[in-house]
Structure 1
Amino acid sequence: MGGAYFLAAFVVLVSITSLSTHVDGKIARKGCDIFQGNWVLDSSYPLYESWQCPFIEEQFDCRKNGRPDMEYAKYRWQPSGCKLPRFNGVELLRKLKGKEVMFVGDSLSLNQWQSLTCMLHVAAPQAFYTSQTIDGLSTFTFPEYDVSLKFSRNAFLVDIKSEERGRVLRLDSISTAKFWRGMNVLIFDSWHWWIHTGRKQPWDWVVYENTTVKDMNRLVAYERALNTWAKWIDSNVDPTKTQVFFQGVSPDHDSVQGSSAANCGGQTQPLKRPGSPHPAEVVLENVLRSMGKPVYLLNITRLSQVRIDGHPSVYVHGGHKDMDCSHWCLSGVPDIWNQLLYTMLI
């Protein structure tokens, strides 16, 4: 492609309309639905190069793993009715001074947390940082700004425990919620592991109320778990001290509806249009609507559905033997999720 292809105002011919314009008014910013819009090629993107982030996970570092193209990282998100502010990492660090931010979820939450740590490090490269992981809790701090970014791995939000009878998924129990207390910003995510079957299924039994089953409808189980999570938030979170976000459902492209592509392998351009509404997306929005406390939906599902080009595909490790159409390259799509989060925080 010629240099003109990277002009800042080149608009990809795909327009995303959110599944709903709001969740009880909680995702709008000044009357604009920031999740409805277009992907635009912009020569000033990406916001950072992966080599500038020395702590980036191997599975997300597509360039280091041999991906030859770079256009997937040059898209920014343009809402239809307003303009997103450009990410300013120093401004965000100042805004978060003295605060603790925690991402809670699966490896897609890790994907977003790592993106944000990279964005902030590159924005303030001279700022000293510390990073450690203890008992599944990763903590990245900027002592100069007194800001702490944490990632707590909890793929289901509810408990899954090893018992004598096997691995038990308890849809009515959240023992790890004690780690959420005292956080100033909480960003949750859960869906990816709910759909695994066979040897990848992470549980042997599912328990809810007084019922024990080997398995159940995954959307029903997901909804039960989300309702347990929602009850905890409604009972324990003080909105004057803690902002709560839900990442939304990150789409995978292991198969592609309405496209000749079998999966994300070899894809270097976004799709022209998103697929049908994600069923988990519908469940999530219904649960959020039922809540008493404000939870802000980071509604990344539809805008990410077209980004088949943004996954690691075979560039997840150096050997090029695996195919990853679930996670996202960094730099890349999760940086835009964090730009949207930034817009909602400032």
Structure 2
Amino acid sequence: MFQTNQSTCALFAGTWVRDENYPLYQYSSCPIIDAEFNCQAFGRPDSDYLKYRWQPLNCQLPRFDGAVFLSKMRGRTIMFVGDSLGRNQWESLICMISTSAPSTQTQMNRGDPLSSFKFLEYGVTISFYRAPYLVDIDVVQGRRVLKLEDIAGNGNAWRMADVLLFNTGHWWSHKGSLQGWDLIELGGRYYQDMDRLVALEKGLRTWANWIDDNVDTSRTRVFFQSISPTHYDPSEWSAGATVATTKNCYGETSPMTGTTYPGIYPDQMRVVDEVIREMHVPTYLLDITMLSELRKDGHPSIYSGDLSPSQRANPDRSADCSHWCLPGLPDTWNELFYTVLFY
């Protein structure tokens, strides 16, 4: 942690405070927000959720400055790797920098799995590489095989980045039509299913070994984004609420108060902590889980792209309580990332 007033700053413990200087940018001035994160453009009526700043317990975060970011990162590549929450954060960072340095020429390439945004005059590239499990998925005889011990295919794309920020988590628990694989391969055997936390741990250890074997610490810094919480269960913030009586994050317009975790702390975090602690390459855990848990107000809910009138009328079924609005919470993740990167 960086030093401030000679005391150590606990960046990830603190409170949300109202601040009229926020948000850091307007959605209309950002070149890259996907419809599913663009809540204001798709009719979200309230705006108080944009007015909160994260206040660590015993220090101030430095104010984000995109021009400083670009000059310090000149000639370098930052790559976000993971699922759509990584994409959420990738787009946020580009919005934040673009607003601070509006006259800089840029170039964007959208693709799958790799999308890149370049600030040409600084030679800075900020990329997103889609790999929701980090490990490889191959199609074998028409079936998607999640290879818990194989990561070389994806890893080749990350090899040259100067700053790597990984995330994974949500896709490991998906079932039914949302599940991203048909079979799991482990130890040369195929499985229809297995304990999902065990699968996550095996996959993360494969990733950790790849980092330990392939990252040159003299030129590359590695970050891991902790699990981003969802808000589908109103009993976490409202005593006596049941999923039947209230509509998940729909209609929530203010953060929770307090400094302890109100829900059930994600089991996945225990796995992430354990794996990262055993790595040789220093990997910084950007621990956004607790501070994000308090932000039940920050999700797109029914303002997520072009939902039909009938979808909007049925928030129980259609509210998105896992991604985040932009501007919004991922901007704070990036303020913390900026602090750890440069201070």
TM-score, length-normalised on structure 1? 0.90
Partner AA of 2:334 in structure 1: N
Offset at residue 319 of structure 1 (A): 2.9
1:52-91 matches, within 5 Å, as 52-91=29-68
Tell me what 1:331 maps to.
Answer: 327
CA distance in 1, matches of 2:51, 2:92: 15
One of 247, 261, 269 as aligned partner of 2:254:
269
Over residues 75-115 of structure 1, what are the superposed CA-to-partner deviations in whole Å (9 max), with x where a residue is unaligned? 11000011100101100110100100000000000000000
Q: Which residue of 1 aligns with 2:2?
A: 29
Q: Where does residue 6 of structure 1 map in the other structure?
A: none
* CA displacement, residues 61-83 of structure 1 (integer Å, 9 cap, x when unaligned): 10000001111111110000111
Q: Deviations over 1:154-176 (max 9, x none)?
A: 00000111111611111000121
**1:138, 1:150 within 8 Å by CA — same for their partners in 2?**
yes
Structure 2 residues not aligned, in runs of 5+: 312-317
Per-residue deviation, 1:130: 0.4
**2:267 matched to 1:279?**
yes
- Say whether residues 1:124 and 2:97 are aligned partners: no
What residue in structure 2 maps to residue 210 of structure 1? 188
Shift of 1:272: 2.6
- Of 119, 139, 147 in structure 1, the residue corresponding to residue 116 of structure 2 is 139
Cross-structure match for 2:233: 255
What is the 5 A alignment of 1:295-306? 295-306=283-294
Q: Deviations over 1:7-52 (max 9, x none)?
A: xxxxxxxxxxxxxxxxxxxxx2222110000001100000001111
Distance 1:242 1:55 in 2: 26
Match of 2:17 in 1: 40
2:332 corresponds to 1:341: no
Is residue 83–residue 130 contact of structure 2 (8 Å, CA) maintained in 1? yes
Offset of residue 221 of structure 1: 0.5
Deviation for aligned residue 1:123: 0.7
In 2, are the aligned partners of 1:101 and 1:149 still within 8 Å (CA)? Answer: yes
Indicate whether 1:231 and 2:204 are aligned.
Answer: no
2:329 aligned partner, one-letter code: V
> How far 1:257 sits from its partner (Å)?
4.2
Q: Which amino acid aligns with 1:204?
A: D
Q: For structure 1, which runs of at least 5 residues remain unmatched after alignment? A: 1-27
Task: Report if aligned partners of 1:66, 1:318 keep a CA contact under 8 Å in 2.
Answer: no
| Further displaced range: 210-219 or 244-253 | 210-219
Aligned length: 319
Corresponding residue of 1:240: 218
Corresponding residue for 1:164?
141
Tell me the distance in 1 between the aligned counterparts of 2:157 and 2:305: 32
TM-score (norm 2): 0.91
Q: Give the partner amino acid of 1:116.
A: L
- 2-side partners of 1:181 and 1:158: how far apart? 14
Partners of 2:26 and 2:60 in 1: CA distance: 24
